[in-house]
A = this chain, B = another copy of it.
Amino acid sequence: MKRTHTCGGLNKANSGQNVLLQGWVENRRDHGGLIFIDIRDRYGKTQLVFDPTLNDETFTKAKELRPEYVIEIEGSVHERPSGMVNPHLKTGEIEVSVNQLAILNKAKTPPFLIVDDVDATEETRLRYRYLDLRRAVMQKNLILRHRVAQTMRQFLDQENFLEIETPYLMKSTPEGARDFLVPSRIHKGKFYALPQSPQIYKQTLMISGYDRYFQIVRCFRDEDLRADRQPEFTQLDVEMAFVREEDIRDVVERLMVEIFARIHNIKIERPFPVMTYDEAMAKYGCDKPDLRFGMPIVDITDIVKHTEFKIFQMTAEQGGMIGALCVKGAASYSRKQIDLLNQFVLDMGGKGVLNAKVGADGWESSLKKFLTPEQEQALNERLHVREGDLILIIAASKAEVQRYLGELRLKFGKQENLIPENSYQHVWITEFPMFEYDDEADRFVAMHHPFTSPVDSDVEMLDTNPELVRAKAYDLVLNGHEVAGGSIRIHSSEIQSKVFSLLKISKDEAQEKFGFLLEALQHGAPPHGGIAFGLDRLIMILAGRQSLRDVIAFPKTTAALSLMDESPSGVSPEQLKDLGLRIENTKG
Interface range, A side: 35 or more
* Contact among B105, B131, B171 with A491 in the assembled complex (CB-CB below 8 Å): B105
Q: How far is the CB of A138 from chain B (nearest CB, A)?
A: 8
A190 and B130 contact, CB distance less than 8 A: no
Q: Are A189 and B583 in contact (CB under 8 A)?
A: yes
A105 touches B525 (CB 8 A): yes
Smallest distance from the beta carbon of A518 to chain B beta carbons, Å? Answer: 12
Chain B residues contacting A243 (CB-CB under 8 Å) are 2
Contact A24 B209, CB 8 Å, known A185-B222, A516-B565, A559-B186: yes
Q: How far is the CB of A278 from chain B (nearest CB, A)?
A: 28
Q: Which residue of B157, B164, B182, B492 is within 8 Å of A142 (Cβ)? A: B164
- Chain B residue with the shortest CB-CB distance to A566: B171
Flag whether A85 is at the interface (Cβ < 8 A): no
- Other-chain contact of A168, B22, B186, B232 (Cβ < 8 Å): B232
Once the chains bind, are B24 and A560 in contact (CB under 8 Å)? no
In chain A, positions 179-226 with a C-beta closer than 8 Å to chain B are 179-194, 200-201, 204-205, 207-211, 218, 220, 222, 224-225
Q: Are B170 and A107 in contact (CB under 8 A)?
A: no
- Determine if A92 is an interface residue (Cβ-Cβ < 8 Å): no
**Is A129's CB under 8 angstroms from B204's CB?**
yes
Query: A527 at the A/B interface (Cβ < 8 Å)?
Result: yes
A191 near B142 with CB under 8 A, answer no
Interchain CB contact under 8 A, A181 and B182: yes
A172-B569, A520-B130, A581-B582 given; A554·B186 CB < 8 A: no
- A68-B524, A69-B524 known; A583-B207 Cβ under 8 A: no
Assess the B579–A582 pair: CB atoms within 8 A.
Answer: no
A585 vs B211: C-alpha distance in the bound complex, in angstroms? 46
Residue in B104, B515, B565, B578 whose beta carbon sits within 8 Å of that of A178 in the complex:
B578
Which of A154, A187, A527 is most buried by chain B, counting CB atoms within 10 A of its CB?
A187
Chain B residues whose C-beta falls within 8 Å of the C-beta of A33 in the assembled complex: none
- Is there contact, CB below 8 Å, between B566 and A70? no
On whether the beta carbons of B210 and A522 are closer than 8 Å, the reply is no
Is A568's CB under 8 angstroms from B523's CB? Answer: no
Indicate with 1 or 0, residue by residue over A95-119, a CB within 8 angstroms of chain B CB atoms. 0000000001111101000000000
What are 8 inter-chain pairs, A to B, with CB distance below 8 A?
Answer: A105-B524, A106-B524, A108-B522, A130-B520, A166-B553, A168-B218, A174-B575, A187-B559
Known: A149-B163, A165-B234, A192-B568. 12 other contacts (CB 8 A): A24-B209, A41-B209, A70-B524, A130-B205, A166-B553, A168-B218, A168-B220, A183-B183, A184-B560, A191-B571, A577-B584, A582-B582
